[in-house]
Amino acid sequence: MALPVFSMSRAAPVFAGAALLLSLAAHAQAQTTPASSEQVERGAYIFHVAGCENCHTDTANKAAPLAGGRGLKTPFGTFRTPNITPDPTHGIGKWSEADFIRALRDGRAPNGDHYFPAFPYTSYTKMTDADMKDLRAYIFTLPAVAKPNLPHELGFPFNIRLGVMVWKWLNFTPGPLPASSTKDEAWTRGRYLVEAVGHCAECHTPRDRLGGLVKSMWMAGSKDGAEGEGAPNITPDPATGIGEWAEDDLAFALKIGMAPTGDTLGSLMADVVENGTSKMTDADLAAMAAYLKSLPAIVHKP
């Protein structure tokens, strides 16, 4: 009898050890490595510049941050943003890092569904993997809210998710920004902040009838930008754009929310400044301004 008992007691720790390793591995797969405070801090910065809360918080109804429900009016109908708090049932609490990256990079849900481009993944796709991971780490530190999602209110045929597949084929190039060999570091950083994280073009570039951004009119202003509101021309054209603004003035305007003329930046831009650009470092604001001032000037009064 002694022998089997002996070998069992030897085997037990091995089993326990293996089980622990397996459960740790499973945990790592679902949760990824625990975020360091530096990672969470970096994620918070990206979160603000990316303006996630501007759409995912129903401020008009004083709802909890990121719990969704805000209505976004578009020519195709009204979208209701989903809950992106870490709630496991109603939010994204069960999402792995890969699920999160797939949503931002490819505009696809964990079940493979295509997201409507009212979610500006068309810009976020240009972000780095590292920034997406930091962003998720930060969002997962925020309070979970058990609030169910509301359905979108879209007319036929725009309510058909499969149609988005065709739209993406026409209008969407997934993947991070290519490196630039000819421009300096500040310009490259500015381009990244404007085009990828800040998604400025989503409001400041006009759209065609199917809602695709018109590339030849990049940042030249849009009559019906987000939520049926126009956004001005921010190319360096002196008459119709911001050509008269010095680079420093532009950076300062984005920091304090006031144009060099003394006009307050209002409507949707007020949120962009308050939750986003006002929290950016001076170096990043200067980089953004340098990039915007380097764009081709386009004469266009939206």
Footprint on this chain of ligand HEC (rule: CB under 6 A): 50-52, 54-56, 72, 79, 81-82, 84, 92, 103, 109, 115-116, 118-120, 124, 135, 194, 198-200, 202-204, 225-226, 229, 231-232, 234, 242, 253-254, 259, 265-269, 272, 277, 288
* Cα 8 from chain centroid (whole Å): 54
Distances in Å between the Cα of 243 and the Cα atoms of 158, 185, 202, 210, 288 are: 38, 23, 21, 30, 15
Closest distance of CB 30 from ligand HEC, Å: 16
Distances in Å between the Cα of 217 and the Cα atoms of 107, 208, 222, 250, 272 are: 24, 11, 9, 20, 21
Q: Which is nearer to ligand HEC, 185 or 263 (CB)?
A: 263
Closest distance of CB 185 from ligand HEC, Å: 19
Closest distance of CB 249 from ligand HEC, Å: 10
Tell which residue, 36, 32, 143, 130, has the closest CA to residue 91: 143
Q: Which is nearer to ligand HEC, 12 or 130 (CB)?
A: 130
Q: Which is nearer to ligand HEC, 16 or 246 (CB)?
A: 246
Closest distance of CB 193 from ligand HEC, Å: 7
Q: Which is nearer to ligand HEC, 3 or 257 (CB)?
A: 257
Distances in Å between the Cα of 186 and the Cα atoms of 47, 179, 253, 285 are: 21, 13, 19, 10
Amino acid type, 94: K
Closest distance of CB 187 from ligand HEC, Å: 14
d(C-alpha 4, C-alpha 20), whole Å: 24
Q: Which is nearer to ligand HEC, 93 or 183 (CB)?
A: 93
